[in-house]
Amino acid sequence: MRKSFFIPAFVGMVFAVFVSQGMAQQMGIGLSTGQAGVQSTPKNPATVSKPAPAPAPAVSQPKPVDYYQMLKSTEAVKRRIAVDNIGRQRNQNDISILIDVLSDTDSGVKIAACDSLGLMRAQQAADKIISLLDDKEPQVRQSACVALGYIGDPKAQTGLIERVKNDPDNSVKMQAILILGNMRASGAVDSLIPLLKDKNPDIRLMSAQALGKIGDVKAAPAIKDALLVSAEEMKTDAVLKEPYHLGQYKRLVTTQISALGELKDKSSEPNIEELLKSDDKNIKIAAASSLGKLGNKSGLSVAIKLVNDKDVQIQAIETLGNIGDASAISVLEKIFNTETSNNIKESARTALYKLGWKPPLPKPVKKEMKK
């Protein structure tokens, strides 16, 4: 009875150990047998290959926008976008398309077309843009002035002069004055002279600037009178105590002084010399510069004194060149040799050349004798 009971039990125990050992090996755990504690060698777990990543879905490329088709849109915003993008390409073949757009009912579309045609210097668009100088919207008229300035067609001067004389919007008027000055439009002189007495200081300033550029000496007496009025107003007008208005008048006086220098008006020398005593350094250096253009060296000491003032340094350097006195060479040479700013350095070089300066020759390199 004991024999038959022992054998099956023993076999069951052996089987259980065998199964446990196999499981332990799969789990990487060593089993101990007896007191010696012999550890079984773990097997590396089987590597499981990862499935290949699914291919990324193809990204569909957006279709290019057809801006020529967009021009036909009933929405003004879309038409403006179309004009901007067509104009940005600067394709001469698009000029006729942009000229047609100048007849659009929307002001913004017309402005965009004006800007593009101006930047393209489209001479064939001049007549159509000139007609926009009479547009009911001031922004369109102003954009037309700018475009005509870029195109530079002299036949635009008549329309621009009309804006100077009669436009109710000061922004349009000032833009027309600026363009006529840049065009050196001698036919505009008679229309610009009355504006030297305008109640708006900015219009007075731009008119003096334009007349200086045009260079017709018949404007000199009117500019001189305007200068005297402006200088007196700076002293007596209580409104000019406010910084903005005071700065506005200082720019006005500076521009009037410069215009008289451009016109080479000798009769204005005493008035300009008086302004060398101004408390404002911009006015003083403008007076010294204009006097230099008139062959008057009375502003030399002022320019030398201000030549190291960073606020007006470049103007002072240019003034020394305009005055033409060789005594300034040493001052300008020092600036040229020590200055780190390229702009200031080049200004000094230009002024030196005006004074007849020649750069020193480089020193010859000594060659060492071979032993």
Predicted confidence band at 43 (pLDDT cuts at 50, 70, 90)?
A: low
Query: For residue 192, what are the contacts with CB-CB under 8 A and spacing of at least 6?
Result: 164, 177, 180, 207, 210, 211, 214, 219
User: Which pLDDT tens digit goes with each residue over 114-164?
Assistant: 999 999 999 999 999 999 999 999 999 999 999 999 999 999 999 999 999
Predicted confidence band at 236 (pLDDT cuts at 50, 70, 90)?
A: confident
Q: Of residues 27 and 96, which shows the higher confidence score?
A: 96
Is residue 44 over pLDDT 70? no
Pairwise CA distance, residues 347 & 313, whole Å: 10
User: Which pLDDT tens digit goes with each residue over 66-103?
Assistant: 999 999 999 999 999 999 999 999 999 999 999 999 99
Query: What does the pLDDT read at residue 361?
Result: 72
Query: What does the pLDDT read at residue 29?
Result: 43
Do 316 and 306 meet the contact criterion of CB atoms below 8 Å apart?
A: yes
How many CA atoms does the CB half-sphere of 141 hold within 13 Å? 23
Residues 175-190: b if buried by 16+ CB within 10 A, e if exposed: bbbbbbbebebeebbe
Query: What does the pLDDT read at residue 365?
Result: 66
- The CA-atom distances, in angstroms, between 228 and each of 141, 249, 254 are 34, 12, 12
Is residue 53 over pLDDT 80? no
Share of the chain above pLDDT 70, in %: 81
Q: Of residues 290 and 56, which shows the higher confidence score?
A: 290
Do 297 and 313 meet the contact criterion of CB atoms below 8 Å apart?
A: no
Mean pLDDT, to the nearest integer, of 261-284?
95
Pairwise CA distance, residues 280 & 265, whole Å: 23
Residue type at 118 in one-letter notation: G
How far the first Cα of the chain sits from its last, in Å, is 121
pTM: 0.76
Q: Of residues 338 and 19, which shows the higher confidence score?
A: 338
Query: What does the pLDDT read at residue 47?
Result: 58
Query: For residue 247, what are the contacts with CB-CB under 8 A and spacing of at least 6?
Result: none
Do 289 and 315 meet the contact criterion of CB atoms below 8 Å apart?
A: yes
